Amino acid sequence: MSDLAVSFEFFPPGDEAMAQQLWQSVQRLAPLRPSFVSVTYGADGSTRTRTHEFVQRVLRETDLTVAPHLTCVGASRQEVLDIASGYWKQGVRHLVALRGDAPAANLTAEGRYRPHPQGFAYASDLVSGLRQVGGFEMSVAAYPEGHPESGGLEADLENLKRKVDAGAHRAITQFFFEPDLFLRYRDRCAAAGIKADIVPGILPITRFPQLLRFAERCGASVPDWLRHRFDGLDDDPDTRRMIAANVAIEQVQRLRLHGVEEFHFYTLNRAELAYAICHALGIRPQVSEARVA
């Protein structure tokens, strides 16, 4: 299955217990030899220090390729470029370049996004700026159902094209549950002349109410059939995990039938479901090649 590529997203821990769980997940998933692991910022860049600390630990204690998220909001151009320069000096060669979710200070009275006056306005500007720092491989975000603030799918596709034209190598999608949503979006990207790889973002469902909050915030749809599968399982975590694994395995296998060979998993810092899905894809541990302290 060497033609398959997977990557995993983690978020920086908030306390020592979360740090232990996160590192256990890294240890569990590292032998699957992901093409990279990404590390998020908080919604407004608020976890920046913890992100840096986790990135440094991954670099120091594993052979994994780490791709920190870097956002525009709440920082000047120079601050952002200094962070990128620091990453480059540490050996980071892959970044996930995002506008980021705006804090209240970056919103107008009507609730619209207002860029930092000395900052990069949008992710396409960030991608262009990062090219001045070094030859990073850059991933950006894509939205099969449109970003809530984009004004529609066509505007969203134009924005993605700007990011790719600025130098992005890969677009990772927001999570979705209907494979046809992704396949139609991939076709529309191709028709729009977007040359980058479009990688499906897969969210294994750990808690359904949490998923509903995520979906409402980012404009992702939750189909009725999915709601029905999880109905009545609030107090049955074992069955929930089995259903969640089955849903995601069906999703990735359907996408593979249509030529998708790269997947990005939003792990929520838990390894079990992502590991099971990768096993179903035919990805097996390569312990002899992995180094995780």
Q: Which residues are catalytic?
A: 9
d(CA 100, CA 45): 8
- Cα pseudo-dihedral 91, 290, 96, 155, rounded to 10: 150
The pair of structure tokens assigned to 4 is 């398959």
d(CA 205, CA 175): 11
User: Tokens 């750990």, residue?
Assistant: 206
d(CA 146, CA 154): 8
Using the Cα atoms of residue 141, residue 143, residue 144 and residue 150 in order, give the sign of their dihedral.
negative
Q: First CA to last CA across the chain, in angstroms?
A: 26
> Any idea what DSSP says for residue 64?
-
SS3 63: coil
SS3 38: strand
User: What φ, ψ does residue 266 adopt, rounded to 5°?
Assistant: -85, 100
The pair of structure tokens assigned to 166 is 């600025």
Contact at 8 Å (CB) between 169 and 137?
yes
